[in-house]
């Protein structure tokens, strides 16, 4: 039987107190709904249907993708939501229904539920929790068979004590779900059409009811408010850190690092505390990332040492680099091998070839710098004339003295030496020394002005 997935994402999430629909809040840098889609995709469903509503097209526009988006115009409950998408499903398929606010459920757990019944039946994924308050409770008969789900707001005091809950994941074959959902009524405390009522209705109609219990209640926890959002974030980070460590990454403290994207790494590579990884980051072998570094969409080749509080974005760092502490790479930097960029150096859209060094306090923007160049402290590429950006080209083996301003556009040839304090305003041929510094004068017997009484 083929599988189709319906994701319920029309709710507002009022407890989030946000103008943004709940499902667009992020865990590990990725929207909650995108997590749910990715988890469902692990089962290779034929089609994914997404029921949206609150916030209008913002959910659709943000997530995009090749999914069947179905608008639920009025939020009349989870059962009503499923009925909006069900007509778009094949009549001979199994349907897996996911609430969109449990983002961390694994593919294996979802698979266990889908495989808990054959051609016909409905099934619920349950979890045993310490604090069931707010969640639908699972009722079982003496033989252990699930007979009903009772929503928290409809529970008797005895039912409130049940600590096995509905995770919000329900599956069934199309025919059974279609038949049962049409009979769901809204005579409950919230006046909603509950999806969860299909369980008791199935028992009445002798449609098989099965269940799977999640082995890990943590992965089934829903996000309804900002506290649960933060808890989900911590759990997600812990799980990812453990996976990366299992694969060989060294984490100085797995509870003090944040992964908000995809990380690839080689052997013997380590991250110190408070490192943030965003987007796609690729680290080679023997790479050392110091405390507090923020790495976003970058590659860092083997044997590089990135000292604390260095920020690198959309850049490629060659082998054996020594960067930071406190260095900043804005988008578009490409560094060759054995490049050194030290503290308080900002580099933007620049190429630094092999062996080049910029040790201290400089701005290098829109520049192409050759091999073995020494950039003295306080060097500024003046790339902006107030209207346009211009390029600086520096050849190989150039020595740039401290406190040099290079007014772009300008090209400096190989082996040029620039004296400290020079303002470069014209192209320089190879092998020359240039200097614009005024000669030093000595005025002897100079008296400093005195403060007036």
Shortest distance, CB of residue 224 to Ca ion, whole angstroms?
5
Shortest distance, CB of residue 145 to ligand UD1, whole angstroms?
18
Nearer to Ca ion, 31 or 101 (CB): 101
Tokens 């506290």 map to which residue?
227
Which parts of this chain interact with ligand UD1 (CB under 6 A)? 8-11, 51, 72, 75-78, 80-81, 99-102, 135-136, 149, 151, 165-168, 194-196, 222
- Contact (CB, 8 A) for 147 and 141: yes
Nearer to ligand UD1, 9 or 323 (CB): 9
The residue number with the shortest CB distance to Ca ion is 222
Shortest distance, CB of residue 137 to Ca ion, whole angstroms?
14
> Which burial class, exposed, middle or buried, applies to 451 when counting CB atoms under 10 A from its CB (0-12, 13-18, 19+)?
exposed
Mark the segment that binds Ca ion (CB under 5 A) among 97-105, 210-218, 235-243, 347-355. Answer: 97-105
- Rounded to whole angstroms, the Cα distance separating 184 from 194 reads 7
Nearer to ligand UD1, 8 or 364 (CB): 8
312 binds, among ligand UD1, Ca ion, none (CB under 5 to 8 A by kind): none
Shortest distance, CB of residue 99 to ligand UD1, whole angstroms?
4
Residues 393, 395, 396, 399: what is their CA dihedral angle, to the nearest 10 degrees?
-80
Q: Can you point out the beta strands (E) in 219-323?
A: 250-251, 257-265, 270-271, 275-283, 288-289, 294-300, 305-306, 311-317, 322-323
Nearer to ligand UD1, 135 or 339 (CB): 135
Helices (H) and strands (E) counted in the chain, each on its own, are 8, 37
5 binds, among ligand UD1, Ca ion, none (CB under 5 to 8 A by kind): none
Shortest distance, CB of residue 210 to ligand UD1, whole angstroms?
17
81 binds, among ligand UD1, Ca ion, none (CB under 5 to 8 A by kind): ligand UD1
Locate 207 and state its tokens. Answer: 């449609």
Tokens 């994701």 map to which residue?
7
Binding status of residue 103 toward Ca ion by CB under 5 A? no
Shortest distance, CB of residue 231 to ligand UD1, whole angstroms?
14
> Which burial class, exposed, middle or buried, applies to 185 when counting CB atoms under 10 A from its CB (0-12, 13-18, 19+)?
exposed
DSSP 241: H
- Rounded to whole angstroms, the Cα distance separating 52 from 68 reads 10
How many CA atoms are closer than 13 Å to the CA of 433, on its beta-carbon side?
5
Binding status of residue 136 toward Ca ion by CB under 5 A? no
Shortest distance, CB of residue 112 to Ca ion, whole angstroms?
21
Please state whether beta strands 322-323 and 340-341 pair in parallel, antiparallel, or not at all (unpaired). Answer: parallel
Nearer to ligand UD1, 217 or 411 (CB): 217
Binding status of residue 101 toward Ca ion by CB under 5 A? yes
Classify 198 as helix, strand or coil.
Answer: helix
76 binds, among Ca ion, ligand UD1, none (CB under 5 to 8 A by kind): ligand UD1
Nearer to ligand UD1, 39 or 362 (CB): 39
Nearer to ligand UD1, 102 or 171 (CB): 102
Backbone angles phi, psi at 214, to 5 degrees: -70, 135
Establish whether 360 is a catalytic residue: yes
Nearer to Ca ion, 28 or 222 (CB): 222
Binding mask 219-238 for Ca ion (x = CB under 5 A): ---x----------------
Please state whether beta strands 93-99 and 2-9 pair in parallel, antiparallel, or not at all (unpaired). Answer: parallel
| Catalytic annotation, pick one of 19, 91, 340, 360 | 360
The residue number with the shortest CB distance to ligand UD1 is 136
- Rounded to whole angstroms, the Cα distance separating 262 from 295 reads 11
Classify 25 as helix, strand or coil.
Answer: coil
List of residues 6+ apart from 219 with CB closer than 8 A: 102, 104, 105, 106, 109, 235
- Rounded to whole angstroms, the Cα distance separating 274 from 308 reads 10
- Rounded to whole angstroms, the Cα distance separating 93 from 46 reads 9
Shortest distance, CB of residue 386 to ligand UD1, whole angstroms?
50
How many angstroms separate the most distant Cα atoms in the chain?
110
Classify 39 as helix, strand or coil.
Answer: helix
Active site residues: 360
Q: Which chain residues interact with Ca ion by CB under 5 A?
A: 101, 222
């Amino acid at each position: 039987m083929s599988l189709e997935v319906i994701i319920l994402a029309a709710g507002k999430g009022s407890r989030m107190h946000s103008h943004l629909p709940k499902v667009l809040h992020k865990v590990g840098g990725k929207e909650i709904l995108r997590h749910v889609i990715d988890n469902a995709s692990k089962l290779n469903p034929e089609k994914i249907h997404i029921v949206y509503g609150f916030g209008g097209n913002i959910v659709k526009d943000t997530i995009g993708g090749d999914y069947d988006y179905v608008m639920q115009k009025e939020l009349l409950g989870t059962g009503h939501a499923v009925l909006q998408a069900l007509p778009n499903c094949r009549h001979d398929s199994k349907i897996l229904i996911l609430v969109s606010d449990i983002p961390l459920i694994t593919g294996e757990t979802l698979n266990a539920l889908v495989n808990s019944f054959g051609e016909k039946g409905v099934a619920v994924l349950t979890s045993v929790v310490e604090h069931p308050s707010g969640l639908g409770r699972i009722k079982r008969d003496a033989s252990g068979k699930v007979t009903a789900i009772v929503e928290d707001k409809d529970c008797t005091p005895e039912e409130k004590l049940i600590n096995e809950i509905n995770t919000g994941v329900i599956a069934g074959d199309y025919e059974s779900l279609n038949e049962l959902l049409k009979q769901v009524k809204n005579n409950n405390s919230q006046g909603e059409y509950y999806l969860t009522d299909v369980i008791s209705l199935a028992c009445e109609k002798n449609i098989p009811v099965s269940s799977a219990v999640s082995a890990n209640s943590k992965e089934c926890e829903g996000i309804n408010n900002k506290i649960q959002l933060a808890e989900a974030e911590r759990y997600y980070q812990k799980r990812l850190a453990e996976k990366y460590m299992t694969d060989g990454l060294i984490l100085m403290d797995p509870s003090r690092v944040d992964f908000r994207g995809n990380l690839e790494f080689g052997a013997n590579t380590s991250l110190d505390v408070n490192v943030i990884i965003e987007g796609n980051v690729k680290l080679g072998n023997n790479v050392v990332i110091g405390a507090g570094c923020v790495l976003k969409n970058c590659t860092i080749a083997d044997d590089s040492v990135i000292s604390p509080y260095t920020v690198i974005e959309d850049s490629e760092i060659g082998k054996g680099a020594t960067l930071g502490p406190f260095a900043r790479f804005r988008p578009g930097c490409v560094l060759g091998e054995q490049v050194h960029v030290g503290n308080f150096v900002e580099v933007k859209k620049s190429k630094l070839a092999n062996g080049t060094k910029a040790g201290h306090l400089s701005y290098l923007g829109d520049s192409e710098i050759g091999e073995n160049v020494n950039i003295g402290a306080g060097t500024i590429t003046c790339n902006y004339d107030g209207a346009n950006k211009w390029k600086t080209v520096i050849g190989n083996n150039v020595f740039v003295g401290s406190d040099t301003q290079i007014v772009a556009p300008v090209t400096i040839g190989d082996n040029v030496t620039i004296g400290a304090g020079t303002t470069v305003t014209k192209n320089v041929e190879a092998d020359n020394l240039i200097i614009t510094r005024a000669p030093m004068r000595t005025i002897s017997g100079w008296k400093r002005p005195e403060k007036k009484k």
